[in-house]
Structure formats: structure tokens, C-alpha cells
Amino acid sequence: MATILYDADANLELIRHKQVAIIGYGSQGHAHALNLRDSGCNVVVGLPENSKSRERARQDGWSPVLPEEAAARAQVIMLLVPDQHQGQVYTQSIKPSLTEGKLLLIAHGFSLQYGQIVPPDNIDVAMVAPNGPGAQLRHMYSIGSGIPALWTIYQDVTGQARELTLSYAQALGCTRAGVIQTTLSEETETDLFAEQVVLCGGLTSLIRTAFETLVEAGYQPEVAYTCCLQEVKLIADLLYKGGIHFMHNSISDTAEFGDYVTGPRIIDEHTREKMRETLRDIQDGSFARNWILENQAGQPTLRAMRRKDATHQIETVGNK
């Protein structure tokens, strides 16, 4: 069983007495910085001189400094730049000021798990990974609630990494909802697997292929769009609220019967084997290697796929 900790298991005072640097001010960065500030913490925001996020940070009342300056000032450094840039930002701006006993935090395990960041052995390293985008993290905190998070200690030199990490999670509002202890590999591998197989890759391929099948059979694209794409939200809301059985209780008997007889025809043993293959690629680092190489080459494949995606009929129908 997972260990879930709440407010009562953490001590907010610990993080309040540290200088915290938030590097990056995007989806996660803005929510971490604002939630921590509202929790009474001392926060400095680090962004490059030419960062597009500087304006947003200024509007929120920050005076951003360069990432290297923020890292030098702080005892706790949360790295919230895109995963594919973390190795470079770490090496150039963070590593030089990682003096003994500092705590380096990340919000997703990718860069540590796949060797993009190799921290020195005289600092603490931990992860607090909120289970949702920054907008939701901020919104839930603002209304007195929070979203859950996964956390783990990667390296504990001071003997205080656990308490300080939980204190950070509390300042973020996550211990209000519950934080689940995990390992770096579990968080990284399950996160990549779920986004590739279900949340992003699986879902969009399912929607697009179903849309194409209906249009090819002569149905109106607008009708195909509505039933294959837009209605996903209605089902996702039910799944989020109460799980699969709850969703089944909320839809028609016809839809429920169709689910039982057709679902396994679409997602069959062949698909299961492909899922296992995907998981192996994630576990042995093949996916990460490809993604790192793709970035080193300037993202040619990603750009080409984005262009192709944007011109698909489902997009023009949706826009209309």
C-alpha cells in the first residue's frame, strides 16, 4: 500500500526559514512561486534575461533575477524548466552554486533518471511532482484546497531532506490533498507510460482513427468530430469523479453494453503487447535517448509531426 502523508505529517516552518529559488516561470513555476509566497516563504524567481516569462513574473509582483543568481542566493532550488533543457540549465546555472547542504528539487524525474543531471554527493536532492498542471495547482491552493503530489528523496546528505521536502510540499498546498511516496524510477516511468499510452498518444490516436473511419464511411465530419472528440470530456469528467464503474452507472445501458463487447475488440492482446513494448522502451532508456537526441538535433521530427498534425481534417473541422 502507498504511504500517503497530509498536513499533519509536515512542518511548514522549515521551508519558511529557507530562501527558495524557483527556476522557470511557466505552468509549474508560476504556481510554485505564488503558492509558496502565499504560504509565507521567501522566494526568488530565476529566469534568463531574454525569457518570455519575465513579463508574467513581473505582473505577479516578482523581480526575476538570472537563474545563476537565484541559485546562488537560495538554500532550496526548484528546477522548473522544460525537461529537455534541464541538463543544460543545471550545468550552466545551478551546479556552480551547489554548495554543501543545499536542497535541489525537481517536479518530474526525467532529467535525474536518464542522467541529464548528475548532482554532486554533498547536497540533498528530492522530487515533489504535483499531479496536475500549474493552473490547477494554483487554483486549488487559492480556494483553500490542493492537488496531490508524488514525492521521493533521491539523496539525503543532511539528514533533513525528508522533512524539508515535505515542508515544501505543504507550502505548495499538496499535503492538503495528500502526497504519495514513490521512487524516482516509478514516477518517471509511470508518468511517461501513461502520457504515451493513455492520456496523450493513446487517446489522440484513438480519436483520430475513429474520426477518419466515420468520415471515410460517408458521415459528416462535423458529426464525427462531435461524437469522437468533444464528448470525450463528458466521459472523462465522469471517470475523474468516480472511476469506471461510476461512469458505467451514469451512461445509457446501450453505451455500457457497447463498452463491454467492443472495448476488448479494439484494445486487444496485440495492443497489450505494444503497451509492454512501450514500457520496455521507457524502462531501458530507449525513449529518453531518442528524445534527448531529437533535442540535440533541434527537434526536426517534433516540428514535422506538429506541422502534419495541424493540417489534419479533424483540426479544420474543429476550428470551424
**Sole binder of ligand NDP in the list 44, 64, 76, 83 (CB under 6 A):** 83
User: In Å, how far from its chain's centre is CA 85?
Assistant: 15
285 lies in the site for ligand NDP, by CB under 6 A: no
52 lies in the site for ligand NDP, by CB under 6 A: yes
Is 216 annotated in a binding site? The answer is no
Is 136 annotated in a binding site? The answer is no
Is 63 annotated in a binding site? The answer is no
Query: Whose CB is nearest to ligand NDP?
Result: 26
Q: What is the DSSP string of 244-288?
A: HHHHHHHS-HHHHHHHHHHHHHHS-HHHHHHHHHHHHHHHTTHHH
Give residue for cell 446501450: 254
Helix (H) / strand (E) element for 41: namely none
Residue 125 amino acid letter: V
113 lies in the site for ligand NDP, by CB under 6 A: no
**Sole binder of ligand NDP in the list 34, 36, 98, 129 (CB under 6 A):** 129
User: In Å, how far from its chain's centre is CA 168?
Assistant: 17
Helix (H) / strand (E) element for 315: namely helix 313-319
Residue nearer to ligand NDP on the CB measure, 67 or 202: 67
C-beta of 24: minimal distance to ligand NDP in Å?
Answer: 3
List, by residue number, the catalytic residues.
Answer: 108
33 lies in the site for ligand NDP, by CB under 6 A: no
C-beta of 201: minimal distance to ligand NDP in Å?
Answer: 16
Is 155 annotated in a binding site? The answer is no
**Backbone torsions φ then ψ of 135, nearest 5 degrees:** -60, -40
107 lies in the site for ligand NDP, by CB under 6 A: yes
28 lies in the site for ligand NDP, by CB under 6 A: yes
209's grid cell: 482513427
**Sole binder of ligand NDP in the list 11, 19, 42, 53 (CB under 6 A):** 53
Are 160 and 3 a contacting pair, CB within 8 Å?
A: no
Is 277 annotated in a binding site? The answer is no
Which regions of the chain does DSSP assign to beta strands (E)?
4-5, 19-23, 42-46, 76-79, 103-106, 124-130, 149-155, 179-181
Q: Which residues are annotated as a binding site for NADP(+)?
A: 25-28, 51, 53, 134
Binding site for ligand NDP (CB under 6 A): 23-29, 47-48, 51-53, 67, 80-83, 85, 89, 107-108, 129-130, 133-134
